[in-house]
Chains A and B, each alone.
Chain A
């Protein structure tokens, strides 16, 4: 604390980058303890330096008055933002691969100038976990990317290896489980194998899944405990089987979707496995999810399971920012507000061990949103988004289109002004 006092006394000497400094004054700030508390936040060189009841004049060039507003960490969403423009046009969609599966990392295709990226920034999203959708036995690797403007984005990862388990048109789920056991055991005992040897293994399985050496390396990361296996799964008994599988393989596990997780919540909690879900998934969409319910998130929370939320309704990835609506509805269903808010900010970071993001505390990256009202409410607007301590441009094509058709209507629209 003596050090901090010194900060106040010698601001200009200690903070030579006044133009990089932001002082955010008086906002109701979502703190790591889960409360909204009135705080001042000092940001320097992209990092949160202080979160205090009151911070005096430290010479910050950028001062944002957040009185009467809410300040939260930037939203961390799970999406394909920047990987696709129009889902139905494959040539604009880089989320999937036929060449690779386990080793597929779609984030290399990231386009920071995607219109969907700009829209989501305007709605409070500071970063995304990119979700791969390769067509093989594994969907690929999760990676973390900030979605700040410009060419340079900080990334972290790979964070996890994605696969799915459950109903299948091709084979019994029992066979799929056996295959996964055989595959993991084979890779574990043949760590130095190359692609050709792997093909030998596949010959015995009667299916045509391909594995390249890149894919094998991704599997090894799971076996070595570097990253978790992320399993998209719905049925309660399937979840139990996957928990058992992870235990026997001694690998880390994250559950995804998990419509019937509430039926085996205690078992999931006991295994200390986190769940990533959309609390709005209450429709029995398959025979694997007949017990879908709005109460999924509530029951998992009561059992002590750590959760992260995504928004899987409607137009999906392009509207990933609507994770706030999923979280807001979970509160309406009975979830504690701070748990809901953490499920779209700090929990994704905790679950995947992301470094320096997801919380408003000294030392964390200054990724934060200033909202004009309760961030989970439907009619709340984003006033500012900082990513790595830089106030982001929130303009986007959709507000430009709106303006164009509301103003200067007497002109042919092609001749109306552009922003």
Chain B
């Protein structure tokens, strides 16, 4: 039954999910009782300004729209930084023509789990800024305050089609701090990279890591972990009550947690085991918040129906496993099973958590697609493309701005040399908000300050 679902149905289901998501994840900041400055529009707001957009029509390409569809001989038109239209033989006025014959076009690829910038290259002690592993609860730290704008890894990801990525704190803590969603653009300050209007996120972590790191002071068990989450949420509730009595009270640790309880901050929860994910869902029920996305979820396939019922996304690897006990029960069809749960209503995401993997998310999706088909699912390439475009955008609360080629969205567009599910395919051009960011043919790409003076061999 699952296998027989047709493509148009997928699209309907996904659109349905989207609307629901918007209401859950994108509450108006004005509705909050917390007094701290509005996170999205205040002092730390994005100051991102796109480069000047081109007016371009890509002709006669194979187009994945990010909604689950694959169109042959389609045109893609963007200008003023926005997608204008996709379709057959588009009429445009004065747009620069790019021959897309034999090429594939997709939305910009989105990785919702990266540590670029906070664990930059080279990997040295002095810039290892990804995890404030000094207390099991560090919800007060923000990854954006660790991000190094000169990390040479951004452009490598760009060459793999990555236009947006979400930087999370590490997983040593029960509450690791706030994550930040960035446009993959070159800038000298972090706010200039921040994705405009993207909600903040909170990193939480289950399982082995927190109980290992804090074993001497606690938590040292999984039940200790859970007590730690619940105590912290009770503290956040108390903080909210206190705030009603004294609106000037500041407590940045609890401001983040209250932001989650108020529906402004999205929970991104590192969690491998199925039973632990189910427990985390219970904790969300107890305190009235919803997990946006479970990350890593090597056992997500065991509770795929539950995740679909709860409307929770799972950001997964195609094939990582075995590096720790909670990553032992791998299924090579994990992503596909999550995707196909409950008649294809699951929200599966291919994530990297890795500065090498982020360069080839399309290849990781291909392996996951192959495993799903081998397990017996009929999954289209268009559907698999949603795992690295639409679904991560949904997970990050930015689907209204990017993630598909819908009219009016940011013109984050990748032109591929061929089918992106082939190992031989390369991203040829990447556009961010309609501006050319990467061009393989001319070796056009940003170079950070760190890159300068390094590549002497290029001229040898």
A interface with B by C-beta (< 8 Å):
85-89, 115-116, 262-263, 280-287, 289-291, 313-316, 318-319, 322, 325, 328-329, 331-332, 376-381, 398-399, 401-402, 405-406, 409, 413
A263 contacts across to B, CB distance below 8 A: 457, 460
A379 contacts across to B, CB distance below 8 A: 366-367, 369-370, 373, 421
Given the contacts A332-B425, A379-B370, A381-B374, A319 and B319 also touching, CB distance less than 8 Å: yes
Contact B367 A314 (CB under 8 A): no
Q: How far is the CA of A318 from the CA of B302 in the complex (A)?
A: 22
B22 CB to nearest A CB, Å: 31
Contact B322 A287 (CB under 8 A): no
Contact B454 A290 (CB under 8 A): yes
Residue of B153, B333, B369, B426 touching A283 (CB-CB under 8 A): B153
17 CB contacts below 8 A, A to B, read: A88-B325, A89-B325, A284-B454, A286-B123, A313-B356, A313-B357, A314-B354, A319-B321, A328-B424, A332-B424, A377-B422, A378-B363, A378-B366, A380-B370, A401-B301, A402-B337, A405-B301
A402 contacts across to B, CB distance below 8 A: 301, 331-333, 337, 375
Q: Is the interface of A mostly helix, strand, loop or mixed?
A: loop
Contact with A along B350-372 (1 / 0, CB 8 A): 00001111011001001101100
B376 CB–A CB distance under 8 Å: yes
Contact B322 A85 (CB under 8 A): yes
B152 CB–A CB distance under 8 Å: yes
Given A284-B454, A331-B424, A380-B370: 7 more A-B contacts, CB < 8 Å: A85-B322, A85-B328, A86-B323, A284-B121, A286-B124, A291-B456, A379-B421
Q: How far is the CA of A398 from the CA of B337 in the complex (A)?
A: 13
B454 CB to nearest A CB, Å: 5
Interface residues of B in 74-98 (CB under 8 A from A): none
A289 contacts across to B, CB distance below 8 A: 122
Q: How far is the CA of A376 from the CA of B305 in the complex (A)?
A: 34
Contact A87 B370 (CB under 8 A): no
Contact A287 B124 (CB under 8 A): yes
Contact A401 B331 (CB under 8 A): yes
Q: How far is the CA of A280 from the CA of B426 in the complex (A)?
A: 14
A133 CB to nearest B CB, Å: 15
Interface residues of B in 55-89 (CB under 8 A from A): none
A322 contacts across to B, CB distance below 8 A: 319
B interface with A by C-beta (< 8 Å):
121-124, 152-153, 156, 208, 301-302, 304-305, 317, 319-325, 327-333, 337, 354-357, 359-360, 363, 366-367, 369-370, 373-376, 421-426, 454-457, 460
Q: Which of A262, A313, A381, A402 has the most CB of B within 10 A?
A: A402
Contact B122 A315 (CB under 8 A): no
Contact B331 A262 (CB under 8 A): no
Contact A314 B122 (CB under 8 A): no
Contact B423 A316 (CB under 8 A): no
Contact B328 A86 (CB under 8 A): yes
Considering the complex, give the chain A residue whose CB is closest to the CB of B376: A406
Considering the complex, give the chain B residue whose CB is closest to the CB of A322: B319
Contact B324 A86 (CB under 8 A): yes
Q: How many residue pairs between the two chains, A and B, have CB atoms under 8 Å in the bound complex?
A: 137
Q: How far is the CA of A110 from the CA of B329 in the complex (A)?
A: 22
B91 CB to nearest A CB, Å: 36
Residue of A285, A287, A291, A329 touching B423 (CB-CB under 8 A): A329
Q: How far is the CA of A261 from the CA of B232 in the complex (A)?
A: 51
Considering the complex, give the chain A residue whose CB is closest to the CB of B125: A169
Given the contacts A315-B320, A318-B321, A376 and B304 also touching, CB distance less than 8 Å: no
Q: How far is the CA of A115 from the CA of B305 in the complex (A)?
A: 27
Considering the complex, give the chain A residue whose CB is closest to the CB of B381: A379
A332 contacts across to B, CB distance below 8 A: 423-426
Q: How far is the CA of A89 from the CA of B457 in the complex (A)?
A: 42
Contact A285 B122 (CB under 8 A): yes
Given the contacts A284-B121, A381-B370, A398 and B457 also touching, CB distance less than 8 Å: no
Q: Which of A86, A318, A399, A405 has the most CB of B within 10 A?
A: A405
B170 CB to nearest A CB, Å: 15
A85 contacts across to B, CB distance below 8 A: 322, 328
A381 contacts across to B, CB distance below 8 A: 370, 374
B457 contacts across to A, CB distance below 8 A: 262-263, 291
B370 contacts across to A, CB distance below 8 A: 378-381
Q: How far is the CA of A377 from the CA of B421 in the complex (A)?
A: 9
A377 contacts across to B, CB distance below 8 A: 422-424
The 6 A-B residue pairs with the shortest CB-CB distance in the complex, in nearest-first order: A328-B423, A379-B370, A318-B322, A378-B366, A315-B320, A88-B324
Contact B320 A319 (CB under 8 A): yes
Q: How far is the CA of A262 from the CA of B460 in the complex (A)?
A: 11
Q: How far is the CA of A316 from the CA of B354 in the complex (A)?
A: 12
